Amino acid sequence: MLSFKRAILFAAFFLTAFILLRQSHGSTASDEQIAAPSKKDSPSTSDHAAAALKQDDRHVPAQKALQDMSKMSLYDKLAYQYPYDVESKFPAYIWQTWKYTPAEGKFHFREQEASWTNLHPGFVHEVITDAVAAQLLRVLYAAVPEVLKAYHALPEPVLKADFFRYLILFARGGIYSDIDTSALKSALEWIPDSVPKESVGLVVGIEADPDRPDWAEWYSRRIQFCQWTIQSKPGHPVLRDIIMRITKETLKRQEEGVFITKKKSIVEFTGPAVFTDTVFDYFNDDRFFDMSQSQGNITWANFTGMETPKKVGDVVVLPITSFSPGVQQMGAKDINDPMAFVHHRFEGTWKPENERHIGGS
């Protein structure tokens, strides 16, 4: 009986000692993790710790202090609601819009829609109808009522579709692509390996590069960026700027009671013309770029005839073959070219066939 009691006492002693030693060891490790680097730390150790902390900060952003947004300008509201972090990852979203969902019998773009899903496993792929778009924006922009008012004031579905792509990318990021496009290569291959992904926040492609005297008869801009396919990180300044432009212009037209819905007006109002202007304005904005060493503004001349991607600040511009392959003009190559990423079939669009490309060369 005595030996049994001794055994119990010894067991309790060893168990208690083990627990105390384990807690002591755990406390030491925790203290080392949160302690500030001492002066004896080598530079490499301190740099590594700082880099690790910086990386952790990106994954766990600090909570924003609540502010009264009612007195903010539209620019400040948008910037506050969706701040921009170029070092964040491109969100794995694919956004498309159409009158019907893939589950409905009237949906006739299954092959194109499936091409995006198949090449982007693990991405969230949404085909948004008009009704769903309105509800989604009501949630995303509840704190920016001017934007919602402008969206609902637009008189044509094509205007709303244009506006929606900028709004969803600004709020959530990812890829927007028209429903009549087919993915030829994964978006993971769009940015060259030589370009760090954490230095890029926007990817655009050239739609038109009409190097001919009568280019203005066919296109609105000498170099025109397409907006049927865009990739971005949330909060990008280009998207913020174009949202501001469309919102202000829409509310102005609503107040004046004048909405022009001719095709050229649509291109200028919400389409590729205003998108192109916004991108070029960003390239030449001293709020975002150091212009002191610049030898002049960045213009269409910097992009005409390009066959490989160019990086300007945090924007990657892809050549015409990337998003407009197979048009057989303006230097665009075939859809099997290594630089061909997205094929736009121009089906179901609002522009008639004779207005989709410029005349014969």
Count CA atoms closer than 13 A to 326's CA, side-chain side: 13
Question: Does residue 70 lie in a domain region?
Answer: no
Instruction: Tell whether 215 is covered by a domain.
Output: yes
Mean pLDDT of 23-37: 34
Which two three-digit tokens encode residue 192? 């060259």
What local confidence, expressed as pLDDT, does residue 29 receive?
A: 35
Query: What span, in angstroms and rounded, lies between the C-alpha atoms of 47 and 42?
Result: 9
In this predicted model, what pLDDT tens digit does every residue of 250-306 receive, in sequence order? 999 999 888 766 655 788 899 999 999 999 999 998 888 877 777 889 999 999 999
Angle, helices 145-153/237-256, rounded to nearest 10 degrees: 60
Mean pLDDT over 76-89 rounds to 97
**Cα–Cα distance for residue pair 234/240, rounded to 1 Å:** 10
Q: Mind listing the pLDDT tens digit for each residue in 112-153? A: 999 999 999 999 999 999 999 999 999 999 999 999 999 999
**Does residue 90 form part of some domain?**
yes
- Which region among 24-33, 71-80, 216-225, 331-340 has the lowest average model confidence (pLDDT)? 24-33
Is 338 contained in some domain?
Answer: yes
- Greater confidence (6 vs 81) lies with 81
> How much is the pLDDT for 230?
99
Task: Give the Cα separation of 120 and 102 in Å (integer).
Answer: 17
Asked whether the predicted pLDDT for residue 328 surpasses 90, the reply is no
Q: How many residues does the chain have?
A: 361
- Strand 174-177 to 93-97 pairing: parallel
Residue 255 belongs to domain spanning: 76-355
229 DSSP β-pair partners: 177
In a domain, 64, yes or no: no
Element holding 110 (H helix, E strand):
helix 110-119
Q: Which of residues 124 and 15 earns the better pLDDT score?
A: 124
Distance in angstroms (rounded) separating the CA atoms of residues 195 and 192: 6
The residue type at 47: D
How many helices (H) and strands (E) are present in the chain, helices listed first?
11, 10
Instruction: Identify whether 266 is part of a domain.
Output: yes
Cα angle 177, 183, 187 (rounded to 5 degrees) comes to 80
Alpha-carbon distance of 296 to 166, in angstroms, equals 29
- What are the angstrom distances between the C-alpha of 126 and each of 54, 103, 279, 283? 32, 12, 26, 31
- For residue 35, which amino acid is it? A
SS3 126: strand
Of 176-185, 225-234, 263-272, the range with the lowest mean pLDDT is 263-272
What is the Cα–Cα distance from 179 to 172, expressed in whole angstroms? 19
Of residues 48 and 22, the one with the higher pLDDT is: 22
Tokens for 215, please give them: 């280019």
CATH classification at residue 175:
3.90.550
Domain count, the chain: 1
